[in-house]
Amino acid sequence: MRARDEATTDFKTTTSKDQDTIKLLKIIKQIMFCNDTMKFSLHALKKAYQHFNTIEQSRAVTPNEYLDSFMNCVDVIIYSGGEIGLDPDMIKLAEADIGVKYTKGTDYQKTKIHAAAKELYLATCFFL
């Protein structure tokens, strides 16, 4: 694990110099979920999406444990440079909830639309 941590770009540039434990934990989480050592590689991002799309709650797992695993998958996608819930259909649903067209909104309204779209998408995925 240590060798894989040290091989990452983030470890070399920031973590080892600053002794930033939060960044180190993020690197470890990405390695455990993606089996990849490059922070923004397309391979890691594809694996993160694949893991997110196939995660399911088994009978032995409580809802809280499943929520933790689910949110770990989301975190890994974000750490790998991906986005969740921002496809055009989700944006249209969020526009209806907010009451503002994305193209005509202010930066603040666009941020609210993105947040609403992401929340709606994640809630749907979690319950499915």
Question: pLDDT of 55-64, one tens digit each?
Answer: 999 999 999 9
Average pLDDT over residues 86-111: 89
The more confidently predicted of residues 35 and 123 is: 123
Query: Token match 């809802």: residue?
Result: 63
**44 neighbors 34 (Cβ within 8 angstroms):** yes
Question: pLDDT of 26-82, one tens digit each?
Answer: 777 666 655 544 545 787 788 889 999 999 999 999 999 999 999 989 988 888 788
**94 neighbors 113 (Cβ within 8 angstroms):** yes
Give the rounded percent of residues in the chain with a pLDDT score beyond 70: 76
Q: Where are the domains of the chain?
A: 1-81, 83-128
Joined tokens for residue 53 = 């799309």
Gap between the terminal Cα atoms of the chain: 34
Angle between helices 21-34 and 42-54 (to 10 degrees): 70
Q: What SS3 state is found at 73?
A: helix
pTM: 0.66
Give the number of C-alpha atoms closer than 13 A to the C-alpha of residue 60, restricted to the C-beta side: 0
